[in-house]
Amino acid sequence: MGESRMTKSGSAPLQHIPVMLEEAVEGLAVKAGGRYLDGTFGRGGHARAVLSRLGHDGRLLLMDRDPQAIAAARAAFADDPRVAIRHDNFSALADWDETAAGLDGVLLDLGVSSPQLDEAARGLSFMADAPLDMRMDPTRGESAAEFLARADEREIADVLWQFGEERQARRIARAIVADREASPFTRTGQLAALIERIVGRREPGKHPATRSFQALRIHVNGELESLQRGLEAALERLNVGGRLSIISFHSLEDRAVKLFIRDHSGRVQGSRRGPPVAATPARLAAVGKAQFPSDVEQAANPRSRSAVLRVAEKLA
């Protein structure tokens, strides 16, 4: 949900700017009377752009797992008869009766939003000392502190490597387990300091805890599992000719989206070392190539630098 970025510690957060706004909404090919779902409302930048293209008979469905995002959605759109709002993970979009009539487009702006980063109490950033929570929906699930308190060394290391590609995953996990009995990890600053002690300042301009914090956030929120379920649900609910428009912010997300589109494209799969796998009927087709933010957008909003947009259309 990349709506801007947080500035360095001590300075004010930047304005919440929707990433690749025009490109993502253009990808939906919005029809005035169509039905669209924004599964990651955030603070509504993309949703407002979609709504501006809808006529009186159009319908916009808004979802977010973050209670604060849903409160913002209700404050902005509760009086618009074209809009329906649901507090839930977009992975459960097929469980919402509003989607049963079919959708003409689904927009997902993945990852963590700037409002979530800017609120230190959420524990998503190492830029300010705060409770080590990291949940996008603080009313559900296990916090990062609870995970680090009960997981064994191998499980912690696996999470840091799988979701953060942290080369020092084993050393960090070993240090967490060694230190937690005397001093449980409950604060972001405490964890960031341990990681900095283990890893050191190896990458100029990048805090040594960056990869580990990303990994823990992805794990705590089940982000990749949610993405896979959400993609499957969206494909089932899309009408023929409906569009997926998905913005990713790291390679794990983008690879999942790319492979999902490929695997439903009807192309013969397989490798040069083995027999080809029989093609399944084509259900999706990529619309153009992956898109990236312009140089102008990246200069205005550095948070957008890692964004990748992929668009696909349902064939059958």
Cite the annotated binding site for S-adenosyl-L-methionine by residue number: 44-46, 64, 90, 109, 116
Could you give the CA distance from residue 205 to residue 126 in angstroms, rounded to a whole number?
14
**91, 230 in Cβ contact below 8 A?**
yes
Could you give the CA distance from residue 291 to residue 271 in angstroms, rounded to a whole number?
27
| Residues contacting 303, CB < 8 A, separation 6+ | 2, 3, 4, 5, 14, 17, 19, 114
Q: What are 284's strand-pairing partners?
A: 314
Residue position matching structure tokens 């609120």: 119
* HEC assignment per residue over 196-235: HHHHCCCCCCCCCCHHHHHHHHHHHCCHHHHHHHHHHHHH
Coil, helix or strand at residue 272: coil
Supply 34's token pair.
Answer: 């169509």
Backbone angles phi, psi at 60, to 5 degrees: -125, 120
Q: What is the dihedral of CA 19, 20, 22, 23, to 10 degrees?
A: -150
User: Largest Cα–Cα distance in the chain?
Assistant: 62
* HEC assignment per residue over 66-111: CHHHHHHHHHHHCCCCCEEEEECCHHHHHHCHHHCCCEEEEEEECC
Count Cβ atoms within 10 A of the Cβ of residue 85 and give its class: 0-12 exposed, 13-18 middle, 19 or more buried.
buried
N-to-C CA span, the chain: 29
Q: What are 57's strand-pairing partners?
A: none
Annotated binding site: 44-46, 64, 90, 109, 116
